[in-house]
């Protein structure tokens, strides 16, 4: 490192607050500090501002209908179509030649879709789905990697009013089956395979295995041919080749179905405290308005931007901020199929340079990996097109924030650290990049119109600096409406903790810990339920535990998250072998690994599986998870004398390799 760099590094390390660069502020979409007050004084009508970013077939009568809280309704009476908002209206505005999707394949292929071309393709696919019998309100499952057919299929579903349920392509066959069963979904769009680090990866066998686990009749499966001759596979009778089928509908005109604002746009399954994934329901009006509004206000997206969010569309981030928000605003959204280190560790920066990306949104885990690889990978690339950077998915440590700020943003781009969840539909806590001072490590204040607080166990706001829990004390348009087919669980999971039914006060509980400072900036401390966050992916420890105890010879298991330098958290499994299996730990370990991969997928792969004859338990018999977390993280262990079995702690700690 040069002396100059070292000085800069030292200065940055000390600095705790950063002002938005003047060059950014001058052109920002939102610059008026008064916006917070405006939203507060004019709540909930302030949300018309979000709705105004959309084109409505019929105007709504009511902004917020709260008569049946917490089953809120937004923009009631309004009618619109999400695909028409993302496509047709831009074409009608004479922007048909602008690029909608710029796709980069892992092997260096490129596909560019203008708004005209994307609309045509979406109509063809919409006609194809209809031709198969898909009707309004039928749920279509999409299990596709990062190829253009994924957003095309999503928009085709939206066009005909068929909600989609996208299942992350990396999920296992079991996970696909569970989600199709839960949603009673009779249609699947998938693909033969895709490439990962240059190798052809079979996807159709996994999809077929998943289909075998679906407990109702699946009428049709459409298979995209991504790999061509690289993967030979047979199609069953109800399986169709995407290209052939879509070619039959080439040039079709499919009028967008006018949907009620509250009609379901999609389902997105996410992990919770119990073993069963939750089907989060998002709506056409509120969700689309909210993803468009936050894309405009926080990501500063405009139609002539080239914007890139490096998430996978299989997660909510990709839904809101690769597909719906950016396309609703008519911008160019970049999609990348591969991994950041293939063929080399500068792939992302090469793509930024090549496409002239001006807004870049990624996860802290990726930034920590870039940091570890070293700044030489950024140096050969001209990143000067960038004007705004964002992060999402997990807390970002100040060191990673500063690395991002300096090495990617060249100290000229604001960073938005955006806190939100699958359930919130869009960003909730973050600075507005043209207005607020940035404090590395702290997401920032709640967005205008969002009443997020940090409270104690009784719901009273905590003092600055004290740890507490995040709550959201008013509804917002992007909020989930319910859990699919399970209103009861919806109320129980999100509203039971802090609401007062007697006074009809409803408080949303996201299950995150946080603290707040004197300026109202919120620092997220992480989940307070049995959910862990591995590389920005949300995993239910109970789901992993049930996979592990399903292995013959394992009597009991506890799964916790331990600190990890790059992933944020990693999965640690503590397992007790059954009597007679003590000598077979190596086999059990292998089987437990396989069980986790089979039931969830590689994202849940345990960092370590530790065998023990007992788990540390309180006198009342509860497993001391906090202690297991400390062991996994290599933390100092506090007083263990209140345990029923304190001796076991040292035994376990000795086995965990913390380096």
Note the residues at the interface with ligand WT7 (CB under 6 A): 270, 316-317, 392-395, 417-422, 443, 510, 512, 524, 526-527, 533, 538
Mark 300-311 as b/e (b = at least 16 C-beta within 10 Å).
bbbeebbbbbbb
CB of 146 vs ligand WT7, minimal distance in Å? 16
C-alpha–C-alpha distance, residues 582 and 579, integer Å: 7
Toward ligand WT7, which CB reaches closer, 47 or 420? 420
CB closer to ligand WT7 out of 206 and 538: 538
Nearer to ligand WT7, 180 or 392 (CB): 392
CA nearest to 430, candidates 413, 448, 412, 404: 448
Least separation, in Å, of the C-beta of 263 and ligand WT7?
Answer: 23
| CA–CA separation, 457 and 640 (whole Å) | 25
Nearer to ligand WT7, 256 or 393 (CB): 393
* Least gap, CB of 413 to ligand WT7 (angstroms): 17
Residue 42, CA distances (Å) to 30, 63, 470, 477 in order = 18, 12, 24, 15
Contacts of 647 (CB under 8 A, 6+ apart): none
Tokens of 236: 């069953």
Alpha-carbon 72 to chain mean position:
23
Measured from the CB of residue 620, what is the shortest distance to ligand WT7 in angstroms? 28
Residue 105 or 568: the one with the smaller Cβ distance to ligand WT7 is 568
Helical packing angle, 647-655 and 625-633, nearest 10°: 40
Shorter beta-carbon distance to ligand WT7: residue 195 or 271: 271
- Give min distance, CB of 416 to ligand WT7, in A: 9
Closest CB to ligand WT7 among residues 172, 418? 418
Contact yes or no for 94/109 (Cβ under 8 A): no
Angle at the Cα of 586 (from 623 to 171), degrees rounded to 5? 70
DSSP letters, 60-112, are -SEEEE-TTTTS-EEEET-EE-HHIIIIIHHIIIIITTSEEEEEE-TTS-EEE
Q: Minimal CA–CA distance to 24: which of 416, 414, 439, 432?
A: 414
The residue among 452 and 524 lying less far from ligand WT7, judged by its C-beta, is: 524
Crossing angle (nearest 10°) for helices 541-549 and 585-599: 130
Residue 277: name the closest of 625, 600, 605, 494 by CA: 600
Q: Smallest distance from the beta carbon of 564 to ligand WT7, in angstroms?
A: 15
**Shortest distance, position 371 Cβ to ligand WT7, whole Å:** 17
Residue 553 in contact with residue 581, Cβ under 8 Å? yes
**Residue 338 CB, nearest distance to ligand WT7 (Å)?**
20
Beta carbon of residue 370, minimum distance to ligand WT7 (angstroms, whole number): 17
| Number of alpha carbons in the 13 Å side-chain half-sphere of residue 621 | 0
Nearer residue to ligand WT7 within complex by CB, 266 or 611: 266
Nearer to ligand WT7, 454 or 610 (CB): 454
Whose Cβ is closer to ligand WT7: residue 347's or residue 527's? 527
Q: Which two tokens stand for residue 472?
A: 């959201």
Asked if 106 and 342 count as a contact pair (C-beta separation under 8 A), the reply is yes
**DSSP string of 552-601, one letter each residue:** TTEEEEEEEEEEETTTEEEEEEEEEEPTT-GGGHHHHHHHHHHHHHHHT-
In whole angstroms, how close is the CB of 394 to ligand WT7 at the nearest point?
A: 5
Positive or negative: CA dihedral 607, 611, 616, 622: positive
Please state the closest distance from residue 473 (CB atom) to ligand WT7, in A: 17
């Amino acid at each position: 490192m040069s002396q100059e760099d070292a000085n800069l590094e030292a200065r940055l390390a000390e600095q705790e607050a950063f002002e938005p660069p003047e060059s950014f502020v001058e052109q920002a979409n939102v610059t008026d500090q008064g916006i917070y007050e405006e939203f507060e004084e004019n709540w909930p009508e302030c949300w018309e501002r979000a709705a105004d970013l959309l084109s409505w077939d019929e105007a709504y009568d009511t902004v917020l209908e709260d008569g049946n809280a917490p089953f809120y309704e937004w923009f009631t009476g309004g009618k619109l179509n999400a695909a028409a908002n993302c496509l047709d209206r831009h074409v009608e505005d004479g922007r048909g030649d602008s690029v909608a999707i710029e796709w980069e394949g892992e092997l260096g292929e490129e596909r560019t879709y203008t708004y005209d071309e994307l609309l045509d393709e979406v109509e063809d696919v919409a006609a194809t789905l209809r031709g198969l019998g898909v009707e309004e309100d039928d749920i279509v499952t999409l299990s596709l990697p990062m190829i253009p057919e994924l957003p095309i299929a999503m928009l085709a579903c939206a066009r005909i009013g068929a909600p989609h349920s996208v299942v992350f392509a990396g999920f296992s066959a079991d996970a696909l089956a569970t989600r199709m069963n839960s949603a009673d979904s009779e249609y699947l769009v998938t693909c033969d395979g895709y490439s990962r680090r240059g190798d052809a990866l079979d996807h159709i066998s996994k999809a077929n295995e998943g289909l075998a686990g679906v407990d109702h009749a699946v009428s049709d499966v459409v298979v995209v041919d991504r790999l061509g001759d690289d993967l030979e596979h047979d199609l069953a009778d109800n399986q169709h080749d995407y290209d052939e089928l879509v070619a039959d509908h080439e040039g079709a005109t499919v009028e967008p179905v006018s949907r009620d604002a509250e009609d379901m746009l999609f389902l997105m399954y996410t992990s919770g405290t119990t073993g069963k994934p939750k089907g989060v329901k998002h709506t056409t009006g509120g969700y689309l308005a909210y993803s468009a509004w936050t894309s405009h206000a926080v990501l500063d997206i405009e139609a002539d931007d080239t914007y890139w969010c490096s998430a996978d569309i299989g997660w909510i981030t990709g839904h809101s901020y690769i597909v719906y928000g950016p396309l609703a605003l008519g911008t160019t959204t970049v999609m990348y199929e591969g991994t950041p280190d293939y063929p080399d560790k500068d792939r992302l920066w090469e793509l930024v340079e090549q496409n002239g990306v001006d807004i870049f949104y990624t996860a802290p885990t990726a930034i920590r990996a870039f940091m570890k690889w070293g700044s030489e990978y950024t140096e050969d690339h001209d990143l000067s097109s960038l004007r705004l950077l964002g992060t999402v998915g997990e807390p970002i440590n100040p060191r990673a924030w500063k690395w991002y700020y300096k090495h990617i943003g060249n100290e000229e781009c604001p960073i938005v650290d955006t806190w939100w969840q699958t359930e919130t539909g869009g960003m909730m806590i973050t600075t507005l990049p043209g207005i607020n001072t940035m404090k590395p490590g702290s997401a920032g204040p709640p967005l205008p119109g969002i009443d997020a607080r940090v409270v104690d166990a009784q719901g009273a706001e905590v003092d600055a600096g004290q740890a507490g829990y995040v709550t959201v004390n008013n509804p917002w348009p992007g909020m989930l409406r319910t859990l699919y087919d399970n209103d009861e669980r919806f109320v129980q999971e999100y509203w039971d903790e802090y609401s007062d039914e007697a006074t009809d006060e409803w408080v949303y509980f996201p299950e995150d810990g946080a603290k707040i400072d004197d300026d109202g900036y919120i620092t997220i401390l992480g989940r307070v339920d049995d959910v862990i966050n591995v590389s920005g992916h949300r995993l239910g420890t109970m789901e992993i535990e049930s996979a592990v105890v399903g292995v013959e010879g394992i009597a009991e298991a506890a799964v916790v998250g331990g600190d990890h330098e790059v992933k944020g958290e990693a999965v640690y499994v503590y397992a007790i072998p059954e009597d007679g299996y003590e000598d077979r730990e190596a086999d059990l370990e292998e089987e437990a690994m396989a069980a986790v991969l089979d039931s969830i997928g590689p994202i849940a792969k345990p960092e370590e599986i530790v065998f023990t004859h007992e788990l540390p338990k309180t006198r009342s018999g509860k497993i001391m998870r906090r202690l297991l977390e400390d062991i996994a993280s290599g933390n100092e262990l506090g007083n263990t004398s209140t345990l029923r079995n304190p001796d076991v702690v040292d035994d376990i700690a000795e086995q965990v390799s913390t380096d």
